[in-house]
Amino acid sequence: MRHLFLGTVCAAGLVALSACGDANDSSVERAIQDVNAVDETNLSDVMLTVADPNEGVNYFQRTLNENPGRIDLQRGLAVSFVRARRYTEAVPAWKKVTTNPDSTLTDMVDLADSQIRAGQWEEAQATLNDIPPTHETFKRYRLEAMIADSNQDWERADSFYEIAVGLTTRPAGVMNNWGYSKLTRGDYAEAERLFSEAVRQDSTLFTAKNNMVLARGAQRNYTLPVMPMVQTERAQLLHTLALSAIKQGDTETGKGLLREAIATHPQHFEDAVRSLRALEAT
């Protein structure tokens, strides 16, 4: 009887140990999956930020082959195409994202952005038209303004630019775009004002500085505005101002500005030297 009791106890112990082993295995497996998920998330973040854009494309393509329905990976691939300036490939990638059941209106805006980058203006406008007007974001209105610009619908463009400026805490870029729109229309004074505001918002935005000089030159104002600039920037802006003067027939003023640009640049300023030699030869 005693042997039977011991046998029963041992059998029960073996069952308990087996159950514990199964539980431990499941816990370990879950822990490994959690760690892998964290590692994958971190790797995806790296591929979308500091990694080479084409490496990001390869990573997301490879990972999508293993998990074809995951929208986060689909987005990662589309973003990587844009980062790599492979806009023609970015468009179908974003279209695939927008057909995913978990897609959002933000994905539609990103599709329109890639369509504009690919030169598909009409398609981009159609995409934005499919987005409800209640979806009010900075990026959406910035794109709406760009499309209105391309259609020379200046009233709508100004309206959309104004809305976009009010929806961001970093409006320098959109102010630069708005200023360039005014520049192309011949409204040079307003363009200069917008470029000046863009530089005030972001003193590192050289494009806005250069555009402001173009707007001043178009008004035959050949002096540099007061704004933050390093020596190299000053030389480049003088060169832009010189070319603007020459374009308008103020050749002697242009020559003087070219000489000043050459003297200002801390290194050999080949573009300015070549322009000055061409003028002096004629």
Give the model's pLDDT for residue 169.
95
Give the model's pLDDT for residue 150.
95
Q: What is the mean pLDDT of residues 119-138?
A: 97
Question: Is residue 38 in some structural domain?
Answer: yes
- Residue ending a domain, among 83, 103, 123, is 103
The one-letter amino acid code at 184 reads T
Percent of the chain surpassing pLDDT 90: 79
Question: Is residue 122 in some structural domain?
Answer: no
Question: Is residue 86 in some structural domain?
Answer: yes
- Residue ending a domain, among 79, 103, 127, is 103
Q: How many domains does one find in the chain?
A: 2
Q: Is the pLDDT of residue 2 over 60?
A: no
Give the model's pLDDT for residue 49.
79
Question: Is residue 136 in some structural domain?
Answer: no
262-276 burial string, b = 16+ CB within 10 Å, else e?
bebbeeebeebeebb
The rounded mean pLDDT for the chain is: 88
Give the model's pLDDT for residue 1.
44
- Residue ending a domain, among 42, 74, 103, is 103
Percent of the chain surpassing pLDDT 70: 85
Question: Is residue 234 in some structural domain?
Answer: yes
Question: Is residue 57 in some structural domain?
Answer: yes
CA dist., res. 152 & res. 174, Å (int): 17
CATH number at residue 79: 1.25.40
CA dist., res. 195 & res. 183, Å (int): 10
Q: What is the mean pLDDT of residues 107-119?
A: 98
Question: Is residue 203 in some structural domain?
Answer: no
What is the residue range of 64's domain? Answer: 34-103
Give the model's pLDDT for residue 237.
98
**DSSP three-state, residue 168:** coil
CB atoms within 10 A of CB 178: 27
Give the model's pLDDT for residue 201.
96
Q: Do residues 61 and 86 lie in contact, with contact meaning Cβ atoms separated by under 8 Å?
A: no
Residue 203 DSSP label = T
Question: Is residue 1 in some structural domain?
Answer: no
